[in-house]
């Protein structure tokens, strides 16, 4: 017998054997289907075919069709899909046909999803079986349209580093509220908002601040808009220094509403001034987030920020009530500073650092009030503190004790506070030591930011080192203002350039078209929104310092235009 004849005989024997097995073990209509296939010499494996016997007719026919047409179809795994209900079972079978190595457990993880979300997830899984079903499962409790946005993001960016824990935490911050998911997924994707003209961004931030004042109904500015708790109570500390920002912005934009809002805020601060002359710690009202858990107490830092607002309101209006309130406040502040120049009394209970270099802003307020009132004791106490802070500066420009915690790892927010106070006091008093100390700090921060390609981490240790992968947005805005201010002051064009680049970065964090007025025009406490500092909150001090930065940028841009004009004029000559 030739090899060919032997092969034909072997095939015939196999067909006969399959026909006998099918006739004996299978019932109609499956038996008729299989007999027809075997008679037409289709390759059939009786052992695998036996797996189809318990299937209901529609599912069995689907599996049989796939078994015949898809090489390597895993009928053993198809058996595991049998308990699923339709249409999930058919969808899973389609997925199995394209992915023989499918982990069937991932399909069962979708079993309790509601429709049409389950089908939508299966559609994405069929396109990309490597999707992390654990992440999809976290989206099930979310409401629409948030769930659809999240599914599209996760499915469209399977390599995106969004761990399940991060998504689960987001579900606690009212993701169903319009606008919330837009911010979260923008930051998850590393996307950016469009950049517009400086004035457009400034007006957006100012409008957000005015909305934050309107909701309190008292003249004070809501501390923040929290994704979880909504608008927070008014914050006396930040309301104080927002007064100065609004008056400065009014001088540029000529918007009378800004002046009216600033004076209303300054008057409110008069109404809540404590008998000691101090301003209280914390919010004016219960803190739903319980950051401020202690009873309101006299707070030196808060008092200093309100004095800045009162002094500016006095300059604007000539109303001596503001100056008299500043004088009462500064008499309280003088008693808070020890002989070494360290604020020992009136420390806000939130921060834990017992020795605080960022109180330079308080010293500036005291020195300013001393010049306005002629009371030299205010300036004397202020200088003691400023001198002590200068002594804490390291050779690389970094300051000891410049943070909220006693860990020598200050936040950029308080680092910038330190430089702001030194610069303001130095210019007021004509003392270059203070200005030079601020400059060394500010320039070193610019270099640290540029080395990281305009990534300014939230904290720095000595040597300008940081492992943070997130930013404190108010700190970024403060340093942007300082870079523009020093660059303008010193004619330092690279420093101005760094400041303007940071302002563009801040613009990309500000959503001017967000559907939620509580978000639209504001700026978050942190970037990403869920990282490290004032998470899931749009804080009023970020908007305030962003406006300050834009005002400084305006002056810096005018300097650049003048410098360009001089260069072009010289070239023509």
Share of the chain above pLDDT 90, in %: 61
Q: What is the rounded average pLDDT of the residues 76-105?
A: 74
Q: Is the pLDDT at 558 greater than 80, yes or no?
A: yes
Residue in the block written with tokens 């026919």: 61
- The residues, any chain, with a CB within 8 Å of residue 427's CB and separated by 6 or more, are 435
Residues 6+ apart with CB under 8 A from 453: none
Average pLDDT, the chain: 86
Question: So what's the pLDDT on residue 53?
Answer: 66
pLDDT at position 329 over 60: yes
pLDDT score of 157: 64
pLDDT at 270 over 70: yes
> 573: pLDDT confidence band, cut at 50, 70 and 90?
very low
Encode burial over 143-162: b for 16+ CB neighbours within 10 A, e otherwise. eeebbebbbebbbeeeeeeb
Alpha carbon distance 13, 17 (integer Å): 6
**pLDDT beyond 90 at 161:** no
Kindly tell me if the per-residue pLDDT of 27 is higher than 60: no
Give the pLDDT of residue 8.
Answer: 46
Please check the confidence at residue 244 and state whether its pLDDT lies above 70: yes
Peptide bond into 145 cis (omega under 30): yes
* pLDDT of 101 higher than 80: no
Q: What is the predicted pLDDT for the residue at 136?
A: 75
Helix, strand, coil percentages for the chain (3-state, nearest 5): 60, 5, 35
Asked if the model's pLDDT at residue 33 lies above 60, the reply is no
For residue range 369-396, list pLDDT tens digits in order: 999 999 999 999 999 999 999 999 999 9
State residue 2's pLDDT score. 60
Q: Is the dihedral of CA 489, 492, 497, 498 positive or negative?
A: negative
pLDDT at 170 over 60: yes
Mean pLDDT of 104-124: 74
Contact at 8 Å (CB) between 303 and 332?
yes
* Residues 372/326, Cβ–Cβ less than 8 Å: yes
Residue with the bigger pLDDT between 163 and 204: it is: 204
SS3 116: coil
Return the minimum-mean-pLDDT range out of 107-116, 421-430, 552-561. 107-116
| pLDDT for residue 77 | 72
Which of 14-23, 49-58, 495-504 bottoms out in mean pLDDT, i.e. has the lowest?
A: 14-23
Q: Which residue has the higher pLDDT, 565 or 309?
A: 309
Express each pLDDT in 199-208 by its tens digit.
Answer: 999 999 999 9
Tell me which of 389 and 35 has the higher pLDDT: 389
Burial, 217: exposed, middle or buried (Cβ in 10 Å; 0-12, 13-18, 19+)?
exposed
For 61-88, the pLDDT digits (tens) are 777 677 666 766 777 777 777 777 777 7
Alpha helices in 460-539 (DSSP H): 473-490, 493-507
Grade residue 545 by pLDDT with cuts at 50, 70 and 90: very high
Residue 565 is predicted with a pLDDT of 44
CA angle, corner 202, sides to 404 and 477, nearest 5?
A: 25
Return the pLDDT at 572: 38
How confident is residue 569, by pLDDT bands cut at 50, 70 and 90? very low
The DSSP bridge partners found for residue 222 are 234
Whether 29 has a pLDDT exceeding 50, the answer reads yes
Range scoring the smallest mean pLDDT among 117-131, 170-184, 276-290, 305-319? 117-131
Instruction: Grade residue 115 by pLDDT with cuts at 50, 70 and 90.
Output: confident
Mean pLDDT of 108-115: 73
**434 pLDDT more than 50:** yes
Q: How would residue 162 be classed by pLDDT, with cut points 50, 70 and 90?
A: low
Closest CA to 299 of 245, 238, 250: 238
Q: Which residue has the higher pLDDT, 330 or 35?
A: 330
- Give SS3 for 86: coil
pLDDT of 308 > 80? The answer is yes
Phi and psi at 247, nearest 5°, equal -70, -40
In terms of pLDDT, which residue wins out, 14 or 375?
375
Sorted by where each starts, the structural domains of the chain and their CATH numbers stand as 198-572 (1.50.10.10)
Give the pLDDT band (50/70/90) at residue 96. Answer: confident
Q: What residues have CB less than 8 Å from 425, skipping those under 6 apart?
A: 360, 363, 364, 367, 382, 386, 431, 434
Angle, alpha carbons 458-179-213 (nearest 5°): 75
Give the list of residues 6+ apart from residue 339 with CB closer than 8 angstroms, or none: 384
Helix (H) or strand (E) holding 465: none
């Amino acid at each position: 017998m030739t090899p060919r004849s032997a092969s034909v005989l072997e095939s015939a024997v196999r067909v006969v054997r399959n026909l006998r097995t099918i006739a004996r073990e299978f019932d109609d209509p499956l038996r008729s289907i299989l007999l027809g296939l075997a008679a037409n010499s289709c390759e059939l494996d009786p052992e695998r075919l036996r797996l189809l016997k318990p299937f209901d007719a529609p599912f069995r026919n689907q599996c049989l069709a796939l078994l015949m047409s898809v090489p390597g179809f895993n009928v053993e795994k198809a058996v595991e899909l049998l308990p699923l209900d339709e249409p999930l079972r058919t969808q899973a079978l389609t997925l199995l046909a394209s992915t023989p190595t499918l982990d069937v457990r991932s399909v069962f993880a979708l079993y309790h999803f509601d429709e049409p979300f389950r089908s939508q997830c299966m559609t994405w899984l069929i396109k990309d079986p490597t999707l992390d079903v654990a992440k999809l499962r976290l989206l099930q409790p979310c409401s629409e349209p948030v769930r659809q946005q999240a599914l599209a993001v996760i499915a469209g960016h399977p390599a995106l580093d969004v761990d399940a824990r991060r998504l689960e935490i987001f579900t606690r911050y009212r993701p169903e509220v319009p606008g919330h998911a837009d911010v979260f997924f923008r930051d998850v994707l590393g996307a950016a908002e469009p950049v517009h003209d400086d004035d457009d961004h400034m007006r957006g931030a100012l409008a957000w601040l005015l909305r934050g004042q309107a909701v309190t109904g008292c003249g004070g500015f809501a501390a923040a808009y929290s994704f979880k708790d909504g608008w927070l109570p008014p914050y006396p500390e930040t309301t104080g220094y927002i007064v100065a920002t609004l008056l400065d912005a009014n001088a540029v934009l000529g918007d009378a509403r800004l002046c009216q809002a600033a004076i209303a805020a300054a008057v409110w601060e008069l109404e809540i001034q404590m008998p000691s002359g101090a301003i209280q710690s914390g919010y004016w009202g219960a803190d739903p987030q319980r950051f401020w858990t202690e009873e309101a107490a006299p707070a030196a830092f808060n008092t200093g920020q309100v004095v800045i607002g009162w002094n500016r309101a006095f300059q604007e209006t000539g109303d001596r009530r503001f100056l008299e309130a500043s004088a009462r406040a500064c008499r309280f502040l003088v008693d808070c500073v020890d002989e070494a120049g360290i604020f020992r009394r009136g420390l806000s209970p939130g921060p834990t650092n017992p020795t605080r270099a960022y109180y330079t802003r308080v010293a500036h307020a005291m020195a300013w009030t001393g010049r306005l009132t002629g009371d030299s004791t205010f300036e004397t106490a202020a200088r003691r503190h400023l001198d002590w802070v200068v002594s804490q500066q390291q050779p690389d420009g970094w300051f000891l004790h410049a943070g909220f915690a006693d860990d020598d790892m200050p936040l950029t927010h308080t680092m910038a506070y330190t430089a702001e106070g030194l610069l303001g006091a130095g210019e007021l008093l004509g003392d270059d030591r203070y200005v030079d100390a601020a400059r060394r700090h500010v320039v070193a921060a610019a270099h640290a930011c540029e080395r990281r390609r305009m990534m300014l981490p939230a904290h720095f240790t000595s040597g300008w080192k940081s492992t943070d992968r997130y930013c404190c947005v108010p700190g970024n805005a403060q340093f942007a203002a300082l870079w523009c201010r020093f660059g303008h002051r010193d004619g330092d064009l690279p420093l101005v350039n760094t400041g303007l680049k940071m302002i563009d970065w801040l613009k990309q964090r500000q959503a001017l078209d967000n559907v939620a007025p509580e978000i639209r025009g504001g700026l978050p406490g942190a970037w990403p929104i869920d990282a490290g500092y004032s998470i899931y909150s749009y804080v009023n001090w970020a908007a305030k310092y962003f406006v300050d930065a834009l005002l400084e940028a305006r002056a810096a841009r005018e300097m650049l235009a003048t410098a360009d004009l001089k260069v072009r004029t010289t070239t023509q000559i």
